[in-house]
Structure 1
């Protein structure tokens, strides 16, 4: 399956997910306002932190090695059994910790111990959430794109339904409970859609871990821990800085801009995830790898830039339709955010080579560097420029990050090219 075909097929799921996300944004804007948006974003980053630590620790590796071992079903099953068994053990332990520390977490992250119940809901559903992401990783590695798309659509529909229901009856608390549970509920729709596929047997997902597979997955576990400790934590720290300096409403405006950005970038980011990672994992030659990289720059990046230009021109209408008049200050954040988005996608096309080729040291270094730089730039510019400073920091950070990852990956690929030339 080539890049164009994958992008078109994935586009169906992306459109549904985008509509779902924008619909949820509108619901939140009407029911909880800018202040509630900030709390919602804080909890969302916490969920991302936990799920990346657990599921992400294995799922990127599951996708890579499932694709790499295409045609070797026994090796694939060894990967699935190992990752599945480790995932359930770790998720149960983390769920117990979340359950018994729910009041502390609510007070520390949401400034309201009365919201401890949302952490309890998250803990109860955590195992199902992790296995939903695990099954999706297997589908991705097997290139079962049609089923992958259907699972994403089902999850998006469930997210809207649960959010509407919970926000209507419980306001902000309901929105947080919906955020904590909808991915867990999506597990059951994923199982239903996967049940007739050849790989879907319980015995394939549980068993004695394979020591060789564990060794391979450890690299991705380290990458996942770094990712979990970088992006979500950095966003939480930046949001805390904005709140302390400019107030909760300002943090809510930035959260609205961030979520809008994530919605329109979804086509690019999911295509990179479901096409690029498996494809880069199976490529062995330097010339083929470079061809894939440049195809990304010919297709994905221009579409991202075009979408950004359209977003900027329609920014006033977009904010009014998708949020409310209370979010008018968000329009002042569009220019720098959209510049940063294009720079981000440009850098990620290169950065995915590090994941596909298990360049874990390079990945860890660039992730930490980018996150620290974004945080430091945000502190400086928010204090000197105001709220617009955080989106300026975002754009500057990804311009520097793109240069860095290109230099790091180019150095690694030069060695790959030399190896290919010697072997030929």
Structure 2
């Protein structure tokens, strides 16, 4: 499937996910408010870490190697088997950690023992979360894009129903619980789609898998380990910095702004994940890679530009519709955030090369540098500019990241020539 077709399908999925997200954000804003949204942001960061760890951090590796060896069933099935066992072991280990430290997690993350039961539920469902992510990564690698996207559409609709019901009935507790339960619902949807595809057979459990397969997959575990330490940790630190230096409500505005960004950039990030990663993994020729990257920029950047201009013109309306009058102060933060988002998407088109070509050391270096610069600039600017200082730090961080990605791109081209 071409990038254009993938983008169109992703666009449909994104519109549905955006509309679902709009309703969910509105419900959360009305029933919980800015301070509650900041707490949900804390839990979301930790949950994302657990979700990544539940597959051993190898989802991108699964997609890469399934796509790369799709024409060689034996090698492909070796990676399928190895990745399944890594997912199984990882999810069981994370489940044990969560259940043992449930009170500590509840107190440190949500500042109360009243949420301990949520971590008990998470410890039970974490295997299903890992299994769902494993299956989606396999579908992406096999280029079953339609199934992959439709499964995500139904998951978005399920999230809408579940989150709205639990939040309106149980407030903050229900909103947080819904974040855990929706992944299990997503698994059921993914399995139903897989059962309809008779040509997808997971009969690979008796293979003698070479050691190199595990080594290759565990490179992605290392990359994910760095990401799940740097990205959520940096966000947690910055959210705490805003709460302490400005106010908890301001931390909620920052969290809300990030949610809006994630929402309108979904069409791009979904296209990059579903098309670019498997496609770049296949390419072995420097000229072909260069053509693919140029094609990507010609298609994606104009779309990003149109989206960002539209969001800027409609920013006041977006705040009123998605949130409440309590969030009106965040309207002034949009211009800098949109600039940062443009730099982010510009750099991510190249950044997927690091994953597609398994550039482990450069990936780790770039993640650490970007996280450190984000924190450093945030500390430097927050006292004089408040929340705007954090968003300025976001822009500068992605400007530096873009320079790193350009350097990496030309280095990959030289190696492939």
Q: Same fold (TM over 0.5)?
A: yes
- Equivalent in the alignment of 2:67: 67
Tell me the distance in 1 between the aligned counterparts of 2:207 and 2:169.
Answer: 43
State the partner residue of 1:242: 242
Change (3 A) 1:205 1:159: farther
The answer (yes or no) to whether the contact 1:340–1:394 under 8 Å persists in 2 is: yes
Task: Note the C-alpha offset of 1:18.
Answer: 1.4
Q: Distance in 1 between matches of 2:13 and 2:306?
A: 20
Cα distance between partner residues in 2 of 1:319 and 1:406: 35
Partner of 2:133: 133
User: Partner residue of 1:314?
Assistant: 314
* Structure 1 residue 199: Cα displacement: 5.4
Q: Secondary structure at the match of 2:4?
A: helix
- 1:357 is the counterpart of 2:369: no
DSSP-derived class of the 1:343 partner? helix
SS where residue 261 of structure 1 aligns?
helix
Preserved CA contact (<8 Å) 2:99 2:120: yes
What does residue 420 of structure 1 align with?
none
**Cα-to-partner distance string for 1:42-89 (whole Å, 9 max, x where unaligned):** 100111112123326221111000000022112111111111111111
1:230 to partner: Cα distance: 1.5
Cα distance between partner residues in 2 of 1:240 and 1:329 = 19
Give the distance between the partners of 2:199 and 2:186, measured in 1 at CA.
19
1: CA distance between counterparts of 2:224 and 2:49? 10
Match of 2:405 in 1: 405
**What do residues 130-182 of structure 1 show as CA deviations (whole Å, max 9, x unaligned)?**
11011000000000011111110111011111101111211000000001120
Q: Would you say 1:395 and 2:395 are equivalent positions?
A: yes
Q: Which residue is equivalent to 2:186?
A: 186
Structure 1 Cα separation of the partners of residues 183 and 207 of structure 2: 25
CA positional deviation for 1:409: 2.4
Cα pair 2:370 2:401 within 8 Å, conserved: yes
Q: Which residue of 1 aligns with 2:124?
A: 124
Deviation at 1:205?
6.2
Once the two structures are superposed, the pairs formed by residues 37-116 of structure 1 within 5 Å of their partners are 37-55=37-55, 57-116=57-116
Distance 2:257 2:204 in 1: 42
Distance 1:277 1:316 in 2: 35
- The unaligned stretches of length 5 or more in structure 1 are 418-424
Partner of 2:224: 224
- Separation in 1 of the partners of 2:206 and 2:263? 35
Whether the 8 Å CA contact 1:62–1:141 is kept in 2: the answer is: yes
Choose 175-184 or 11-20, whichever is displaced more: 11-20
**Separation in 1 of the partners of 2:188 and 2:139?**
15
Paired residues, what number?
417
Aligned CA distance change for structure 1 residues 171 and 224 (closer, same or farther; 3 Å): same
CA contact (8 A) 1:82 1:206 kept: no
Q: Distance in 2 between matches of 1:222 and 1:36?
A: 33
- Between the aligned partners of 2:258 and 2:215, the Cα distance in structure 1 is 36
Range moving further from structure 2, 154-163 or 408-417: 408-417
- Which residue of the partner structure matches residue 422 of structure 1? none
- 2:269 aligns with 269
Q: Give the CA deviation at 1:234.
A: 1.1
CA distance in 1, matches of 2:105, 2:200: 37
Whole-angstrom CA distance in 2 between matches of 1:205 and 1:166: 39
Listed as ranges, the matches of 1:333-372 within 5 Å are: 333-372=333-372
Q: 2:196 aligns to what SS in structure 1?
A: coil
How does 1:170-181 map onto structure 2 within 5 Å?
170-181=170-181
Alpha-carbon spacing, 1:296–1:325, altered in 2? closer, same or farther (3 Å) = same
Other-structure match for 2:23: 23
Q: 2:290 aligns to what?
A: 290
Measured against aligned partners, the alpha-carbon deviations of 1:284-321 in whole angstroms (never above 9, x if no partner) come to 10011011111111111121122111111111111001
Q: Do the aligned partners of 2:53 and 2:94 also contact (CA within 8 Å) in 1?
A: no
Matched, 1:165 2:165: yes
Contact map agreement 1:344 1:398 (CA 8 A) in 2: yes
Q: Is 1:9 aligned with 2:9?
A: yes
Quote the offset at 1:411 in angstroms: 2.0
Q: Which residue of structure 2 aligns with residue 251 of structure 1?
A: 251
CA spacing shift, 1:206–1:228, aligned 2, 3 Å? farther
Name the CA distance, whole Å, in 2 between partners of 1:116 and 1:202. 37
Unaligned runs of 5+ in 2: none
| Residues 199-236 of structure 1: per-residue CA shift (max 9 Å, x gap) | 54454468765422101101111111111111111111
Note closer, same or farther for the CA distance 1:5–1:205 as it changes in structure 2 (3 Å cut).
farther
